[in-house]
Structure 1
């Protein structure tokens, strides 16, 4: 575990329970401190209003039938880096969000780590 990772707080916004648990375990194994998982947009926005200590986020694009972009906009405004997670890959994102770190479901731990490291500006080890 890298000192650059240890204890960094990563918000997980994911409505599929098994995927959320998998991400939580992966993040813990990497040394991150998961926040959540949160399974709806309104709760995610509430977390952002009440938690100014987030270091990053993993955002499922479609959360309980709603797109996650209001959360992405709020994170962007706060200067908090994030990674999109979607079954459609980057091509499934609206034009405005293409080029943003994105992992395609199903994903591997390596894909999650690489995308998070890219978003957070951490050099791969």
Structure 2
């Protein structure tokens, strides 16, 4: 069971996940703790456009590393340029993440909800 409220309350979290059920679960979890979900978005180019256009506020992001066979690193770069923290999620081990991103927070799938929320809260 997740605590009803966390430091994520009122924050806008971009969810970039290509698995529909996973995206729904993440969205539900975030809404349960009071965050607002931006997305979810399942395609790299769509997420990149959203970040680059900057028309919607994003306080933090959860990025699946592999989106329909395309890596989410361009999205990560765009977020970093805007000083927006992000967490990678992946079903693969740490070696699957490009070397230059290995210092960024990462949650292994299937992930523990509490650990994910803790990692997101630490991005503040």
Shared fold, TM over 0.5: yes
- Name whichever of 21-30 and 89-98 sits farther off: 89-98
TM-score norm. by structure 2 comes to 0.90
RMSD: 1.2
What is the aligned residue count? 119
1:59 counterpart residue number: 63
> What does 1:20-99 correspond to in 2, within 5 Å?
20-48=23-51, 49-99=53-103
The answer as to whether partners of 1:41 and 1:63 remain within 8 angstroms in 2 is yes
2:119 counterpart residue number: 115
CA–CA distance in 2 between the matches of 1:90 and 1:37? 24
1:14 pairs with one of 8, 13, 17: 17
Secondary structure at the counterpart of residue 123 of structure 2: helix
Greater than 3 Å deviation, 4+ residue runs: none
CA–CA distance in 2 between the matches of 1:102 and 1:22? 17
CA–CA distance in 2 between the matches of 1:52 and 1:78? 13
How far 1:52 sits from its partner (Å)?
A: 4.8
Q: Deviations over 1:23-73 (max 9, x none)?
A: 000101111101000010111012111435110000000001100000000
Runs of 5+ consecutive residues of structure 2 not aligned to the other structure: none
